[in-house]
Amino acid sequence: MPKMVAPSFLSISIKPKGVRIRTDGVPSINYSSRWIGYGMQHVHKPQHNQCILPTLVEMCTFLPEALGVQPTTLSINYDIWPENQQLTALSHVQPGLFFRRLFEAHSGVAELKISGCLLEAVDIIRADLTLLPLVARINITTDWGYQHRGGAMMTLAEVRQLHNNIVDIHATRPRVLHVSNVPRFSNLSNVVDDDE
């Protein structure tokens, strides 16, 4: 029987129609959850969608919350763009609440990698220095909103807000931040899951 090794890496990919969670370690985890199909059409109504955010948070925080394991690397691709709102269960999640709860649970993270629709995530990191207290590196992959996978562009105000938040993070957490400017997320096979 192989020796158990706690995961040090957690990858979370959230798309309008599903979630994929992967870890390293022994045993490793590779879990996909589809949020479309029979019964899911009812969650678009406000009275039926209160369970979506808690369920998503519970899925994404199971390592520290249920198993007591703190991965040192957390990689998140949040690929739900408000401009291209598809009526799916996951499109109703409030990203700010999701990221706050995710970062609160993963307090042992030393390296954070974020990509996709990351305006709310970057805003929370900038606004609350008590989150991610051990982080030594933050990798932000962005195209500055010029051409994301949905085809629509961020507004100029959103691009400015993202830029200002990144500048503020750099000022408050020196030597931690690394920003990659990538022209198209659709060409990022290592950041974006191809599963839809």
Query: Over the stretch 61-113, which tens digit does the pLDDT of each residue have?
Result: 999 998 899 999 999 999 887 766 667 778 878 899 999 999 999 999 999 99
Q: Contact, 115 vs 186, CB < 8 A? A: no
8 Å CB contact between 120 and 101: no
Least confident of 4-18, 128-142, 159-173, 176-190: 176-190
pLDDT at 194: 37
Read off the pLDDT of residues 36-71 as tens digits, 9 standing for 90 and up: 766 665 565 555 567 888 999 999 999 999 889 999
Contact at 8 Å (CB) between 190 and 139? no
pLDDT of residue 145: 57
Closest CA to 125 of 180, 73, 64, 170: 170
* pLDDT score at 143: 63
pLDDT value of position 181: 67
Q: Which single residue is written with the structure tokens 């100029």?
A: 156
Tokens, residue 108: 């042992």
Peptide bond into 27 cis (omega under 30): yes
Measuring CA to CA, which residue among 34, 14, 10 is closest to residue 22? 10
pLDDT of residue 43: 60
Q: Over the stretch 113-159, which tens digit does the pLDDT of each residue have?
A: 998 888 889 889 988 989 999 999 998 887 665 544 455 566 677 77
Inter-residue contact 76 to 114 (CB < 8 Å): yes
**Mean pLDDT, residues 170-175:** 71
Helix 156-172, helix 119-127: angle, nearest 10: 30
CA–CA dist 82, 55 (Å, integer): 20
